[in-house]
Amino acid sequence: MFDGRFRRGIDATTAPVGAWLVRWGVSADVLTASGLVFAGLTAWLIAIGQHRLAIVLLALTGFHDMLDGAVAKASHRASQRGSFFDSVVDRVSDAVLLGGVAYYLTAHHHGELVLLPFAILTSTFMISYQRSKAESLGLSAKGGLMERAERMILLGVALLARVIFVPVLWLMLVLTTMTALGRFRRVWSVAARPEPARPAAYRPRQHAARRWRSLSRTTRH
Q: Are 160 and 137 in contact (CB under 8 A)?
A: no
Q: Is the pLDDT of residue 87 over 50?
A: yes
- Helices 80-108/51-74 angle, 10° precision: 180
Burial letters 22-45, b for 16+ CB under 10 A, else e: beeebbbbebbeebbebbbbbbbb
Instruction: Please report the pLDDT score of residue 221 as a whole number.
Output: 42
Instruction: Please report the pLDDT score of residue 77 as a whole number.
Output: 74
What are the two backbone dihedrals, phi and then psi, of residue 107, each rounded to the nearest 5 degrees?
-80, -30
Distance separating alpha carbons of residues 150 and 176, to the nearest angstrom:
10
Q: Is the pLDDT of residue 101 over 60?
A: yes
Distance separating alpha carbons of residues 124 and 110, to the nearest angstrom:
24
Point out the catalytic residue in the list 29, 65, 86, 90.
90
CATH number of 2-220: 1.20.120.1760
Is there a catalytic annotation at residue 90?
yes
Average pLDDT over residues 180-197: 82
Angle at 162 between CA 160 and CA 164, to 5 degrees: 75
Average pLDDT over residues 90-97: 95
Q: Which of 23-27, 75-79, 85-89 has the lowest mean pLDDT?
A: 75-79
Instruction: Please report the pLDDT score of residue 47 as a whole number.
Output: 95
Instruction: Please report the pLDDT score of residue 216 as a whole number.
Output: 47
Confidence of residue 155 (pLDDT cuts 50, 70, 90): very high
Distance separating alpha carbons of residues 50 and 94, to the nearest angstrom:
19
Q: Are 120 and 98 in contact (CB under 8 A)?
A: yes
